[in-house]
Structure 1
Amino acid sequence: MTREEKAVIIEELSQKFQTTPYFYITDASGMSVDEVNKLRRMCFERGIEYRVVKNTLIKKALESLDADYASFNDGVLKGFSGVMFHPESGKAPAQLIKEYRKTVNTKLQLKGASVDYSLFIGADQLDTLISLKSKNELIGDVIGLLQSPAKNVISGLQSGGNKLAGILKTLSEREEAA
């Protein structure tokens, strides 16, 4: 690979890392061609881009960003590395990795992930990444919590109004009967 080709790949990766807030670095070493093809097919079906890239090119692309990815240099960017990008969800690649490990092959390992510039290093972080809520889910939870007291007050006032109307009606019917 020539320097120009490497520079193009580094530039493409830098753009991808900047525009995609969710990416995972995986280790798929020891997998057969058929197993890798199944992984690529699963990624395609879920809208996840999967690329195998040299660690030095990933490192140079990450260095060109404003965020600090130095902790990836220790253990993440060693050996065979594949990068998964998902434009919308931080947990979609984690769910795919877990499902792939259950159904196809346990050799696929999570080396590290960046979710909204928060770094997760090691395969033991997979369950944590799956349980993460997206920004939209968190906003929805907060709105639901804020609306709950107001809904309780409104329903209390409405039910009290119905009771009051019922009492007044009963009293007026008694007066008319008397």
Structure 2
Amino acid sequence: MNKNRQLKEAKVAEIKEKLEKAQAVILADYQGLTVEEDTQLRKNLRETGIEYKVYKNRLVILAAKELGLEGVEKYLKGPVAIAFSYEDATAPARIINDFAKTHKKLELKAGIVEGQIFDTEKIIQIASIPSKEVLIAKLLGSIKAPLSNLAYLLSAIKDQKEAGSAESAE
């Protein structure tokens, strides 16, 4: 087997492993971004633990077919960057979508979330879902608010009774 083929097979295996491990994979057209813009996008993604790579489309198609991800090849045309998220399924879509709002050259193409392929429209919907931390904070806030109100109410009743007792003692 020649060296070139071995390198390609190793790359396909690497891509396949990343696709299997990732909770979300976002495909984006980055053509037209300046080096500075691309560097900023990479930094934003890296800060949240998202891996951002550019592979040959043909190698990604081979890896996807090995995993049974049929239909992804139609999104792999032209220059495509891939963001792999291993922890938060919504983060790469949210970060890339937010970045694309101010950098019109960047376009979301599609995504794979938990093994299911989504088109641009669905990925934009996924991008609107808050992060796991925000959702947990909202849940805890909604649980805490009634408890705080109850504690305030009980404290007010106690204060009122104490004030009533102090007045009747005079």
Which TM-score applies when normalising by structure 1? 0.73
Query: Are the aligned partners of 2:12 and 2:59 in contact in 1 as well (CA < 8 Å)?
Result: yes
C-alpha separation in 2, matches of 1:86 and 1:71: 20
1:112 pairs with 2:110: yes
1:50 to 35, 49, 52: 52
1:55 positional shift: 2.3
Cα distance change of structure 1 residues 162 and 112 upon mapping to structure 2, 3 Å threshold: same
Taking the TM superposition and a 5 Å limit, the aligned residue runs for 1:62-77 are 62-65=64-67, 69-73=69-73, 75-77=74-76
Partner residue in 2 for 1:156: 153
Give the letter for the 1:61 counterpart: A
Letter in 2 for 1:107: K
Contact 2:19/2:25 (<8 A) preserved = yes
1:148–1:79 distance in 2 versus 1, CA, 3 Å: same
CA contact (8 A) 2:25 2:83 kept: yes
RMSD: 2.8
Distance 1:169 1:101 in 2: 63
The number of equivalent residue pairs is 163
* Deviation string, structure 1 residues 62-94 (Cα, Å, up to 9, x no partner): 3444xx633423x31233322123455533554
Please tell me the residue identity of whatever aligns with 1:121.
Answer: D
Runs of 4+ in 1 over 6 A off after TM superposition: none
Bigger-Rg structure (1/2)? 1
- The equivalent residue for 2:140 is 143
Cα 1:69–1:165 change in 2 (3 A) is: farther
CA contact (8 A) 2:110 2:117 kept: yes
TM-score for the superposition, normalised by structure 2 = 0.75
- The DSSP-based 3-state class of the residue aligned with 2:79 is coil
Identity %: 21
Tell me the CA shift for residue 169 of structure 1.
0.9
CA distance in 2, matches of 1:18, 1:86: 11
